[in-house]
Amino acid sequence: MQKTILSIFDFSGVWSKFYKENGYNVIQADIKLTTYPNNIYQITEEYLNNISPIYGVLAAPPCTAFSGAGARWWKRQDLDGTTKECIDLAKKTLEIINCCKPTFWAVENPVGRLNKMVPEYKEHGPRYFQPFWYGEPYSKKTGLWGSFNFPQPNNVVKPEGQRPGQPPAWYSKMGGKSEKTKEYRSKTPVGFAKRFFEFNQ
């Protein structure tokens, strides 16, 4: 039977790419997609009961109010509703996971305050990875929460033009705060995505 992967907040499709290419039934959910469900709140218990058993869940909920890189804006976000929205989406993600009981699941978020703001995640992580462990020549320490086989490094390279703790060199070259720029910066590293698939299939 074809296995189903539910990939939440997956506009780029990079993390789920290797599952799709290897015959899995991949369901992508993101508000920017035209397919159903494109909204995480459309993924109800009724919806999950009407599709085949979920083998794995991949999720990258919005990190705007969690990322340590934006800590200087946390107070403002706590007041303007941004933090509440991020908390609600992170909790909804866990509700979906608990409902479909997949064989494996993983939630990706940057270094920050996810565990503090949503304590339900504490028992599940994080475990950190770097893109340069999988052949991508930049540093962007990222956390994984969940129940999965950790993708062991297989192609460690040197980050180009960076010192420890600095964002990727191409961040400064891109500039701007457009939605397109944000999407590009938040893409899952391809090397990591491939290695994750190899360890969780």
φ/ψ of 164, rounded to 5, equals: -50, 130
Do 177 and 185 meet the contact criterion of CB atoms below 8 Å apart? Answer: no
Helix/strand/coil (H/E/C) assignment for every residue in 119-178:
HHHHHHCCEEECHHHECCCCCCCEEEEEECCCCCCCECCCCCCCCCCCCCHHHHHHCCCC
pTM score, whole prediction:
0.89
The strand pair at 4-8 and 25-29 is best described as: parallel
Can you tell me the distance from the alpha carbon of 133 to that of 159, in angstroms, rounded to the nearest whole number? 10
Instruction: Let me know how long the chain is.
Output: 201
Instruction: Provide the mean pLDDT of the chain.
Output: 89
Q: What percent of the chain has pLDDT over 90?
A: 73
Q: What is the pLDDT of residues 105-124, one digit of tens each?
A: 999 999 999 999 999 999 99
Q: What is the pLDDT of residues 145-200, one digit of tens each?
A: 999 999 999 999 988 765 655 555 555 554 555 444 444 455 789 999 999 999 99
Q: Which band of pLDDT confidence, cut at 50, 70 and 90, is reported for residue 62?
A: very high
CA angle 86–46–64, rounded 5-degree value: 10
Q: Which band of pLDDT confidence, cut at 50, 70 and 90, is reported for residue 136?
A: very high
For the chain, which residues make up each domain, given as ranges?
Answer: 4-199
- The CATH number given to 4-199 is 3.40.50.150
Tell me, what's the pLDDT at 113? Answer: 94
For 178, left (φ over 0), alpha (ψ -120 to 50), or beta?
beta
Q: Is the pLDDT of residue 81 over 50?
A: yes
Q: Is the pLDDT of residue 89 over 90?
A: yes
Give the least confident one: 44-48, 85-89, 177-181: 177-181
Tell me, what's the pLDDT at 86? Answer: 95
Tell me, what's the pLDDT at 181? Answer: 43
Of 61, 23, 39, whose CA–CA distance to 5 is shortest?
23
